[in-house]
Structure 1
């Protein structure tokens, strides 16, 4: 079950997003993905599997957004992600290690992921849907060749922008083609 189907299953079940502050998608012994949701005071989001075959709607998931905003525990395919510029700078003098899990590319420093880059299926997730979910407080950069734009969000209520978690969306022709969680010197 991909995340899109998962969200469709959760919504009719009447589980309020404010109650589901912890979500975990896992594949059981039978190969069927299941979700484990728990009521808690901390924000957690764990993603297992590929991102590029679905429609990218997991990026609109309120549990993911809340985890980024509240600096909760965020993991993709078993890699914990520390997603602020400050998290990156703390480990900047450590040797980078590049790891691929499913269709995601992780940058690890001192054993912790400071960035994950992942594909989104073409023409499935519009930037309008993203700005509706994340708001209008973003910066955009255009690629040198003008082929795409990148929308960069710094999330959370910390006063220092360097401590806010970062999520970026590469956009071509109005649709997200790639996502990045974590700091990068260039998106």
Structure 2
């Protein structure tokens, strides 16, 4: 075997070993991809992975809150989210499409996501943690069946509430079970 062939074989073996190692790290015992990573710079927040297998603590992250308050760039699994009622109105004349990525459901209009809905693991994130992180300026919407309530926050310093970004937390028995980022006509 000449030196050139030996280098190709070793390079192929290295790539294969990297792929096998990466696959092992990404999969846990239950087979679910539970990568929960976020990165932030200034008012940019990027989330990759599932939301429902972790403890939901990323929702109380200052970087996420600041990005929503300052109308920065927010993305979940590659979908940029425009989260105000005004953003929704700008795109609502287009046909909408529901897109699922990991355990998140996106409402998109012409490729622009105006809402993402995702689960939070049961009994992990107390509503007290949310109100401590976001404050007391929220509205509560009761469900028709009385089984849950939704805390709705409009974030930002804009005078017009329709220009503020929205995040909502579905709460059952004192714990967040689902969150919505973006405008919805009803959070019930």
1:64-79 mapped onto 2 (5 Å cutoff): 64-79=64-79
Does the Cα contact within 8 Å between 2:98 and 2:108 map onto a contact in 1? yes
Provide, for residues 67-119 of structure 1, a one-character-per-residue CA deviation record: whole Å limited to 9, x for no partner: 00000000000000000000000011010010000000000011110000000
Q: Does 1:184 align with 2:184?
A: yes
CA RMSD of aligned residues (A): 1.5
User: Secondary structure of the equivalent of 2:49?
Assistant: coil
| Alignment partner, residue 54 of structure 2 | 54
| Alignment partner, residue 128 of structure 2 | 128
Q: Which has the larger radius of gyration?
A: 2
Cα deviation, residue 35, structure 1: 6.3
Query: Which ranges of structure 2 fall in alignment gaps of 5 or more residues?
Result: 1-20, 27-34
In structure 1, how many angstroms separate the alpha carbons of the residues matched to 2:174 and 2:182? 22
In structure 1, how many angstroms separate the alpha carbons of the residues matched to 2:158 and 2:115? 20
In structure 2, how many angstroms separate the alpha carbons of the residues matched to 1:111 and 1:155? 24
| Alignment partner, residue 80 of structure 2 | 80
1:1-187 mapped onto 2 (5 Å cutoff): 30=22, 31=25, 38=41, 42-187=42-187
Higher normalized helix content (fraction of residues): 2
In structure 2, how many angstroms separate the alpha carbons of the residues matched to 1:80 and 1:35? 14
Does the Cα contact within 8 Å between 2:38 and 2:45 map onto a contact in 1? no
In structure 1, how many angstroms separate the alpha carbons of the residues matched to 2:163 and 2:156? 9
Cα deviation, residue 138, structure 1: 0.2
Query: Which ranges of structure 1 fall in alignment gaps of 5 or more residues?
Result: 1-28
Total equivalences in the alignment = 156
In structure 2, how many angstroms separate the alpha carbons of the residues matched to 1:92 and 1:35? 29
